[in-house]
Amino acid sequence: MKPKAADSILRIAPYEPGKPIEELAREYGIQSAIKLASNENPLGPSPGAVAAVQESLGRLHRYPDGAAHDLSRRLADHLGVMPENIVLGNGSDELLGMLARVFLQPGDQAVLPRPSFLMYEITVKSAGAEPIFAPLRQADMGLDLKAMKAAIGEKTRMVFLCNPNNPTGTIISRGEFADFMADLPSDILIIADEAYMEFVREPDCFCGLNHLDARPPVVTLRTFSKAYGLAGLRIGYGVMDAEIAGLLHRIRPPFNASIPAQAGALAALDDRAFLQKTLSTVHQGIDFLRAELAAMGLTAFPTQSNFFLVDLGCSAQAVFEKLLEHGVIVRSMRSYGYPQYIRVNAGLPEENQRFLDALKQVLGG
């Protein structure tokens, strides 16, 4: 006899993360691999954050401030909200889990775009609830808010909006969001996952922070993992109605944001120069890569984020594996339902060039 896992858990397909550089070194003996697979910051972490994390290490014998007094206030200032509207998480992933535990029960449904961030499905299923998938628009791979709205029913408790959408890089316009919100039931929760909002160049992009008082309520999720270069530190946050925040605090592990994470995030917000450099590096990288790929005759889709999809016209999994031999890690979109697409994020100029050179060799040979 073995202990039996919950059926809801057995229905979850494990999350496939981007391949770590160290794994490539172990498996292929390649020491100088580059990774353009997890939408990380090519410049590294914010130097201001690194200094603050180092400075914080002498306090590691203490428990963190469970209320994150300083960081909540600094974030509230930064975003134009109240500290009571903010809940910190061990990455924004943890916020997804908290929201599911508070608002989803077995038998409930949540409406999800597909393809989108795979953690939504895992989170919904882990609460024993049922994901209802709304396919993306075929024309531009954007979220189909009309289809998502049509999928909302009696049992719907939650709707996930990924803006910009991972992996397609598309955004929701303000008008689309306004149409979507009209006449929705007020007892559901709208989750606006804005992990990549800092990279958006389109001024007409919907932003959840402008809808803090909306009915139904909108919970906005943000992270320090991408634009601030702190994915390894694990710190993200949600911005929401204070009453909803209070519910999340009931189940939030009291010390979920570590001392280094709080210190690093606080300093990262002040490191304006790093954010500016990140945005210019990423935007130049995206424009360069898309132009070069188009010149190779490939379709590189438009994006508002730090990554984009490429249609290779052949098996993306095979190309992904051959690129690994060249020490280049990208993401195959097979498990997202796009067997001919890869997802690539902007790297440093030399990394971008190395990816293009490797891709030319792989496709040519």
Ligand X SMILES: *Cc1c(COP(=O)(O)O)cnc(C)c1O
Task: Name the residues that contact ligand X, by CB under 6 A.
Answer: 39, 91-93, 117, 162, 166, 193, 195, 223, 225-226, 231, 236
Cβ closest to ligand X, residue 88 vs residue 358: 88
Q: Could you list the beta-strand ranges (E) of 20-108.
A: 34-35, 86-89
Q: Would strands 299-300 and 236-239 be described as parallel, antiparallel, or unpaired?
A: unpaired
Distance set, CA 274 to CA 49, 103, 202, 352 (Å):
10, 37, 21, 20
CB of 182 to ligand X, least distance (A): 26
Distance CA 36, CA 345 (A): 5
Distance CA 296, CA 128 (A): 46
CB of 230 to ligand X, least distance (A): 9
Comparing CA positions, the residue from 90, 95, 79, 91 lying closest to residue 38 is 91
Distance CA 266, CA 257 (A): 12
Angle in degrees, CA 121, 193, 196, rounded to 5? 120
Cβ closest to ligand X, residue 158 vs residue 231: 231
Cβ closest to ligand X, residue 226 vs residue 290: 226
Cβ closest to ligand X, residue 161 vs residue 359: 161
CB of 353 to ligand X, least distance (A): 25
CB of 138 to ligand X, least distance (A): 21
Token readout for 38 is 């997890």
Number of H helices, E strands in the chain: 13, 13
Could you tell me which residues are beta bridge partners of residue 193?
Answer: 162, 221
Cβ closest to ligand X, residue 221 vs residue 358: 221
Could you tell me which residues are beta bridge partners of residue 134?
Answer: 113
CB of 103 to ligand X, least distance (A): 18
For 184-249, the three-class secondary structure string (H helix, E strand, C coil) is CCCCCEEEEECCCHHHCCCCCECCHHHHCCCCCCEEEEEECCCCCCCCCCCCEEEECCHHHHHHHH
Distance set, CA 81 to CA 168, 205, 224 (Å):
30, 19, 18
Give the residue nearest to ligand X (CB).
Answer: 91
CB of 116 to ligand X, least distance (A): 7
CB of 355 to ligand X, least distance (A): 20
CB of 99 to ligand X, least distance (A): 13
Cβ closest to ligand X, residue 234 vs residue 326: 234
User: Is the peptide bond prior to 167 cis by the omega test (within 30 degrees of 0)?
Assistant: yes
Cβ closest to ligand X, residue 285 vs residue 327: 285
Cβ closest to ligand X, residue 195 vs residue 310: 195
Cβ closest to ligand X, residue 103 vs residue 196: 196
CB of 303 to ligand X, least distance (A): 13
User: Is the peptide bond prior to 14 cis by the omega test (within 30 degrees of 0)?
Assistant: no
